[in-house]
Amino acid sequence: MPQLPTNSTEDLGAVDEMKEYKHEDGEETENGTHLDLVNDIKSDLIKKETENSENPKPSGASSAPIAQLMSFPDRYSKHLNTGVHSGYPRGGPGHTPQEDIKHNLHRGHGPRPAGIFHPAHHHPYATAPPYQYMYPGNKPEGRFHFEPPIWKKCMYGERKEYGFLFFRTVSSTFQTDCNDSQTNAKTINECTRSFGLGSLFGSLSPQCDVRQTYSLQLIWELVNVLFWSWSRTLLDFYGRVIDEIFLKLRQPHSSIIGQPSSQYPPSYPSQVGPTSAGIQRLSHPTLTADPRGPVCCPPPPPNQTVIRTPATCGAGSLLTSQSISAMADHPGMDLAHLKGHIKKPLNAFMLYMKDMRSKVVSECTLKESAAINQILGKRWHALDRQEQAKYYEMARKERALHMQLYPGWSARDNYAQQGKKKKRKRDKSQAEITNPKKCRARYGLDRQHEWCKPCRRKKKCIRFLAGGADQDLSLSPPDNTGSLESENIDTNVDSNSPVMITTTNSTTPTS
């Protein structure tokens, strides 16, 4: 039985999501694509000396920023076989990363040959990674097609792991193969595909240091997004950032360097973006000499050169409002917010739900969101103020970013979309008249056999019809509820689970 989190570690966040993957005896779960990264990092730090001697870093490692990035965390280097580590259990037919990749290009849900870019064969705990989550499907080539609805099914532990694997792999390629740009580009392309990221990085031709460095910055940004993608808004935003950067990178080199940035985007979330926070949370101690993180910096002020010193520029600095408009017209762009519906920013509880849903689901056998949400609601109330404050702060940033991205947007815009679904509008009194839960309310869950058929199907009650709601009062059970509208629901979510929810009058508005 998974264990509830009992402690927290501030520096890396999202600890809770990972603690659960441990058995009580401390061993990882068998399907442990869920990695307790924090504990790993702690162990890494504790055993640093030992591991360094047993597991030397790649020969290319140095004190340079890229090398520093590549050094995180040490233990992953042996899973990302760069040909340096002798102890790696080779599962694939290849003998170099590039060769291995060649055998790992079978995308989709079918079996894939083992190899270096097969996370299941990399991670010491992994046995059955949810590959289907890594393959969003057909997307425009070269497009940042990170798909939140799919990706979010991955838990934080998995995201981190895949993120690091991906980052290390691409970084290694940049570092070790920079003399062979053709192979390098191909490798990155294939690696990117292998990780389900389309040809995001494959379009690069990393021939020069500037592009290498800059691409690594980009990758790092992306990894942050992958890890901390609690916000659809942020995902959208970074998707556009990355798109924009790649548009630039495809241009001749000379057109990038020194290009004036008269179009500096006013919408860049310099204060509220995930960049610094993400890196801060993600950063390995060796990477935190610069509090902004290894590849992150505030965006340049308007009218400054976009890329003066690539190693110190953040990815967001290339996003322009004009280019956003241009992208909105791009036929392949999936920019729903530019073409139509802009969703509301998530509030604190929604962020909490997003964070914890998978955890609750894993603890219970239930999958029904309604029941899960009841549990989450209970837990939300049981949460201590500090924990809640974290989510309120996230929500605040979310709103601030949303305001920056969509200045003219109002929640009213999403009200009763013309002709589009959202037919839930129901006056409350009307809702009570037509409340489909009459039988449920009257008889309770214990006597479902007495419910009318529609009630059993969660549909409109036909026994206690509108206007004739009293017609069948004689059938009302001699209960003590008093109110027809109140519900006392005891839902034992899972007999194996300690969670038991008791909901009273759950339809009460929460104003």
Q: Give the residues lining the site for DNA (CB under 7 A).
A: 148-149, 152-153, 232, 341, 343-344, 346-350, 353-354, 357, 367-370, 372-374, 376-377, 380-381, 388, 392, 395, 399, 410-412, 414-417, 421-429, 436-437, 453-454, 457-459, 489, 503, 506-507, 509-511
**How do the residues of the chain divide into helix, strand and coil, expressed in percent and rounded to 5?**
45, 5, 50
22 phi, psi to nearest 5 deg: -100, 140
Q: How far is the CB of 402 from DNA (least distance, A)?
A: 9
Q: How far is the CB of 424 from DNA (least distance, A)?
A: 4
Q: How far is the CB of 32 from DNA (least distance, A)?
A: 20
Token duo for residue 156: 């934080």
Q: For 102, what's the count of Cα atoms within 13 Å in the CB-facing half-sphere?
A: 8
Q: Which is nearer to DNA, 348 or 499 (CB)?
A: 348
Q: Which is nearer to DNA, 308 or 428 (CB)?
A: 428
Q: Which is nearer to DNA, 41 or 493 (CB)?
A: 493
CB under 8 Å to 321, separation ≥6 — which residues? 263, 265, 266, 267
Q: Which helix (H) or strand (E) holds 500?
A: strand 500-504
From the CB of residue 91, how many other CB atoms can be counted at a distance below 10 Å?
17
Q: How far is the CB of 145 from DNA (least distance, A)?
A: 16
Q: Cα–Cα–Cα angle for 85, 87, 90, nearest 5°?
A: 95
The residue type of 309 is: T
Token duo for residue 487: 């519900």
Q: Classify 354 as helix, strand or coil.
A: helix
Longest dimension (CA), the chain: 86
Least Cα distance to 232 among 318, 335, 315 occurs for: 335
Q: Which is nearer to DNA, 134 or 287 (CB)?
A: 134
Q: How far is the CB of 398 from DNA (least distance, A)?
A: 9
Q: How far apart are CA 199 and CA 190, in angstroms?
A: 7
Q: Which is nearer to DNA, 277 or 489 (CB)?
A: 489
Q: How far is the CB of 182 from DNA (least distance, A)?
A: 39
Q: Which is nearer to DNA, 46 or 462 (CB)?
A: 462
Q: How far is the CB of 286 from DNA (least distance, A)?
A: 34
Token duo for residue 249: 């990178």
Q: How far apart are CA 359 and CA 148, in angstroms?
A: 18
- How far is C-alpha 14 from the chain's CA centre? 11
Q: How far is the CB of 223 from DNA (least distance, A)?
A: 20
- Tokens 């509820």 belong to 481
The residue type of 134 is: M
Q: How far is the CB of 130 from DNA (least distance, A)?
A: 11
Q: What is the DSSP letter of 282?
A: H
From the CB of residue 77, how many other CB atoms can be counted at a distance below 10 Å?
23
Q: Cα–Cα–Cα angle for 215, 220, 222, nearest 5°?
A: 95
Q: Which is nearer to DNA, 482 or 509 (CB)?
A: 509
Q: Which is nearer to DNA, 22 or 232 (CB)?
A: 232
Q: Determine contact, residues 181/167, Cβ cutoff 8 Å.
A: no
Q: Which is nearer to DNA, 188 or 353 (CB)?
A: 353
Q: How far is the CB of 441 from DNA (least distance, A)?
A: 10
Q: Which is nearer to DNA, 172 or 374 (CB)?
A: 374
Q: How far is the CB of 144 from DNA (least distance, A)?
A: 18
DSSP letters for 420-440: SS------HHHHHHT-TTHHH
Q: Which is nearer to DNA, 59 or 369 (CB)?
A: 369
The residue type of 64 is: A
